[in-house]
Amino acid sequence: MKRYHVTTFGCQMNEHDSERMKGMLESIGYAEAPDPDAADLILFNTCSIREAADSKFLAHLGHAKRRKRERPDVVIGVGGCWAQSVKDEVFQKFPFVDVAFGPGQVHKLAEFLTSESLTAQGYFEFEGFAGDLPEKRAREFQGWVQISVGCNMKCSYCIVPSTRGRDVARPLQTLVADVERMASEGVTEVTLLGQNVNAYGRDLHRRGFTPATFAQLLEAIDAIDGIERIRYTSPHPQDMKEDVARAHAELSALCEHVHLPLQSGSSRLLKAMRRTYTRERYLDRVALLREHVPDVALTTDIIVGFPGETDEDFEQTLSLCEEVAYDGAFTFVYSPRRDTEAADFPDQVPHEVKVERMDRLVETIQRNAHERAQRFVGRTLEVLVEGPSRKDPTRLRGRSRHNKVVNFVGLAQPGDYVHVEIERATSQTLTGEESLLARATGGAAALAR
């Protein structure tokens, strides 16, 4: 039996594409190898969002090249956003690569592997979503659902629209059928994926499908038996409307967590980024969410050192972070990307200024997240158990509905929902003990979401 190994870089969308690559490879008779050296097919699912992602991948590719020299029959494949951004150039630069494909072309990999000729081949069309691929889930109780491909926004720093194409929604009925199938296979938590999830459905009518909004999709998935938790990433602040905020209050499976990418707290910079909202509009969206779900956990993405960012702009980002008091954030140093508008902007910020601002931003985020997390101490939270704790295997690790990692002492199994009494909180994790009272009474006694 032939064996494959997939190395994944980047976001959850890529993680999900890799699950589909693995499922598809197993359906054509391949088995997973524990490391690339034991594989007949070495695959990379690449990311190109920042320069660091490119460099990390290129180091891995060097290893694959040496492997191919030792064993010329090994097949080397490169998929994902980096492959899409360089297209056929990949074969000129790295002649040992056998097959390359963009993010929408996962299914072409099977076509390539099962065809007679193995001359190098590239697949870079945007075809929408390649459906009906089996996925091999990392945990059988958690599933990803890609609700749309691509992005219609034009954020001036971002390479995604050129690597993933226009926003194309998958029809609501298809998504519901997918989640029903997943629920029947034991999935209880789903994460809906898209680049701008709350713009979902705008193209459905034009393409001849029943129109649907993101809030309607959430409602339809909430109604599916067996689905206990719904998460999604990422919404765009421009499209965060009252119906979605209300859904958070009304739908029992929809978690009390929203990841709402900010990018900058300065309206001037937001305009240069083409983010289509101002600082005030963003704060209105936060107020709307907190009005409907006062305890909602908010996380975000922030870029420091965007071209032209002044001290004053940066201070505005810090002050917004103090005002919102996020539960957590992904912080990124701006990285110029090929074929993006901002890469040619004047006033690129010097590296040492970026680093200094990043330190201050991380301090602000962590201090606020630490303070926010104290609200959980003394509460009993519902936790979905994921496995043993990474640092201390005698403890268990799971996630609360607010998407906080919870390490705790308990008897549960991966996939169980348990109630944990929270004793301590840091900016990143909560620590506690499984509520045995709740276990004895089947959970009814101690639930406080």
Q: Which is nearer to ligand SAM, 151 or 187 (CB)?
A: 151
Count other C-beta atoms under 10 Å from residue 112's C-beta: 21
Q: Does residue number 236 form part of the binding site for ligand SF4 (CB under 6 A)?
A: yes
Q: Does residue number 14 form part of the binding site for ligand SAM (CB under 6 A)?
A: no
Binding-site member from 158, 179, 406, 420 for ligand SF4 (CB under 6 A):
158
Q: Using DSSP, how many helices (H) and how many strands (E) does the chain show?
A: 14, 19
Q: Does residue number 155 form part of the binding site for ligand SF4 (CB under 6 A)?
A: yes
CA 394 to CA 409: how far, in whole Å?
A: 8
Binding-site member from 39, 97, 100, 160 for ligand SF4 (CB under 6 A):
160
Q: Which does 337 bind (CB under 5 to 8 A by kind): ligand SF4, ligand SAM, none?
A: ligand SAM
Residue positions counted in the chain? 449
Minimum distance from residue 129 beta carbon to ligand SF4 (Å) = 16
Residues 286-315 that bind ligand SAM (CB under 6 A): 301, 303
Q: Which does 254 bind (CB under 5 to 8 A by kind): ligand SAM, ligand SF4, none?
A: none
Q: Does residue number 6 form part of the binding site for ligand SAM (CB under 6 A)?
A: no
What are 446's two structure tokens? 């101690």
Whether omega before 27 lies within 30 degrees of 0, making that bond cis, reads no
Residues 6+ apart with CB under 8 A from 62: none
| Residues facing 192 on adjacent strands | 145, 232
Q: Which is nearer to ligand SAM, 123 or 332 (CB)?
A: 332
CA 394 to CA 389: how far, in whole Å?
A: 7
Site map for ligand SAM, 337-356, x if CB under 6 A?
Answer: x-------------------
Residues 41-100 that bind ligand SAM (CB under 6 A): 49-50
**Candidate ranges 75-83, 155-163, 252-260, 351-359; the one touching ligand SF4 (CB under 6 A):** 155-163
What are 367's two structure tokens? 């201090």
Minimum distance from residue 259 beta carbon to ligand SAM (Å) = 8
Minimum distance from residue 239 beta carbon to ligand SF4 (Å) = 10
CA 85 to CA 50: how far, in whole Å?
A: 12
The distance from CA 5 to its chain's CA centroid, rounded to whole angstroms, is 21
β-strands 380-388, 396-400 pairing: antiparallel
Rounded to the nearest 5°, which phi and psi values hold at 398?
Answer: -155, -170
| Residues facing 263 on adjacent strands | 302
**Candidate ranges 125-133, 157-165, 364-372, 419-427; the one touching ligand SF4 (CB under 6 A):** 157-165
DSSP 32-82: E-SSGGG-SEEEEEE--SSHHHHHHHHHHHHHHHHHHHH-TT-EEEEEEHH
CA 436 to CA 411: how far, in whole Å?
A: 9
**Candidate ranges 151-159, 365-373, 387-395, 397-405; the one touching ligand SF4 (CB under 6 A):** 151-159
CA 22 to CA 140: how far, in whole Å?
A: 14
Q: Is 233 helix (H, G, I), strand (E, B) or coil?
A: strand
Site map for ligand SAM, 202-241, x if CB under 6 A?
Answer: --------------------------------x-x-----
Using CA atoms, how far residue 95 sits from 40, 66, 124, 211, 317, in Å, is 18, 13, 18, 46, 45
Binding-site member from 261, 307, 328, 398 for ligand SAM (CB under 6 A):
261
Q: Does residue number 103 form part of the binding site for ligand SAM (CB under 6 A)?
A: no
Q: Which is nearer to ligand SAM, 105 or 299 (CB)?
A: 299
Q: What is the enclosing helix (H) or strand (E) of 408? A: strand 405-409
Q: Which does 217 bind (CB under 5 to 8 A by kind): ligand SAM, ligand SF4, none?
A: none
Count other C-beta atoms under 10 Å from residue 341's C-beta: 16
Q: Which does 161 bind (CB under 5 to 8 A by kind): ligand SAM, ligand SF4, none?
A: ligand SF4
Binding-site member from 332, 376, 408, 417 for ligand SAM (CB under 6 A):
332
Binding-site member from 4, 334, 376, 417 for ligand SAM (CB under 6 A):
334
Residues 6+ apart with CB under 8 A from 97: 61, 76, 77, 78, 90, 91, 120
Q: What is the enclosing helix (H) or strand (E) of 83? A: helix 81-86
Binding-site member from 7, 46, 84, 195 for ligand SF4 (CB under 6 A):
195
Q: Which is nearer to ligand SAM, 157 or 200 (CB)?
A: 157
Q: Does residue number 11 form part of the binding site for ligand SAM (CB under 6 A)?
A: yes
Choose among 113, 126, 129, 99: nearest CA to 17: 129
Q: Which does 301 bind (CB under 5 to 8 A by kind): ligand SAM, ligand SF4, none?
A: ligand SAM
Q: Return residues touching ligand SAM (CB under 6 A).
A: 11, 49-50, 157-158, 160, 195-196, 234, 236, 261, 263, 301, 303, 332, 334-335, 337
Q: Return residues touching ligand SF4 (CB under 6 A).
A: 151, 153, 155, 158, 160-161, 195-196, 236
